[in-house]
Amino acid sequence: MSSTLAKIGEREAEMARTQKNKATAHHLGLLKAHLAKLRRELITPKGGGGGGPGEDGGTQTGTSFVLPWCHCVC
């Protein structure tokens, strides 16, 4: 947990020292996304274990399964 807090501090410091203009907008966006991911990990830490009906995490219905990320029946 402390390493996550350290990473958050590093990202915030890098954002503070990065000049804000069109050339750095993409880099700042990536930093914001990574910062959001780290903050999300603090709120809901990664759980171990798991393993559902299939290796890809789909919900099994009969002989087909629904993939939750593409909303299609395969």
pLDDT at 70: 58
Question: Which amino acid is residue 10, in one-letter code?
Answer: E
| pLDDT tens digits for range 19-31 | 999 999 999 999 9
Q: Where are the domains of the chain?
A: 4-43
pLDDT at 30: 94
Number of Cα atoms under 13 Å in the Cβ half of residue 48: 0
Q: Has residue 14 got a pLDDT over 70?
A: yes
pTM exceeds 0.75: no
| pLDDT tens digits for range 42-68 | 888 776 655 555 555 556 556 665 656
Going by pLDDT thresholds of 50, 70 and 90, the confidence category of residue 6 is: very high
CA pair distance 10, 19, nearest whole angstrom: 16
Average pLDDT over residues 65-72: 58
